[in-house]
Amino acid sequence: NFVAKRRNEKFHEVSDKNQKRASKSAYPYKKGRTGYARLQQRILAEEKSDATSLPEHVLWKAARVGKDGAVVEAVQNVYDECETLSQTLPSTEVQDCRSVLSRVLNVPEYSGRVRGKGFGVTPSSFYKKPKTKNPTNKEVMKTLVELRAQVLQLQNENARYREERCGSEAKDTS
């Protein structure tokens, strides 16, 4: 079954198309089968850092450094722009779903992925937003009672206002 699928003409068309697309990358990945997670672990181990993760633009740059340590000028330019942008943005804006890296690269961020963090990392798992706690039934009922009291008070004030207004105006019956 596996061999039959690989000999299929349609498979070869898709494979060739993807091979051409991957060969035209402006910023090619240079770490082979080492994924972002292992690369991050290696960097943190070398630095002996207490941090649990690296900024995505730092990891993105490290993934594009060759074996000889040479950095392509285009990759260095993107990294420098990421550094300046991350320093100028307020910390709340840095944590939104459109990362600093995707802003500098000026590419759309696809749903369900975080650029520069590898396969399987989702925005909801990476940008952990505090969960809002749903109110309990007692809290909802308490709020409902308070709102009913406010509505009743406003209705009474409205009725008093209408009585005063109608009482002060002389009606012309002729």
Q: Tens digit of pLDDT for each residue in 4-59?
A: 999 999 999 999 999 998 888 888 888 888 888 888 888 899 888 888 888 888 88
Q: Tens digit of pLDDT for each residue in 80-106?
A: 888 888 888 766 554 555 677 878 887
Q: What angle do CA 57, 64, 98 make, to 5 degrees?
A: 30
Handedness of CA 97, 101, 107, 111 (dihedral sign): negative
Distance CA 173, CA 25 (A): 88
Q: How far is CA 97 from CA 63, 100, 133, in A?
A: 21, 9, 22
Looking at the predicted structure, is the pLDDT value of residue 145 above 70?
A: yes
Handedness of CA 37, 38, 43, 46 (dihedral sign): positive
Looking at the predicted structure, is the pLDDT value of residue 108 above 80?
A: no
State pTM to two decimals: 0.54
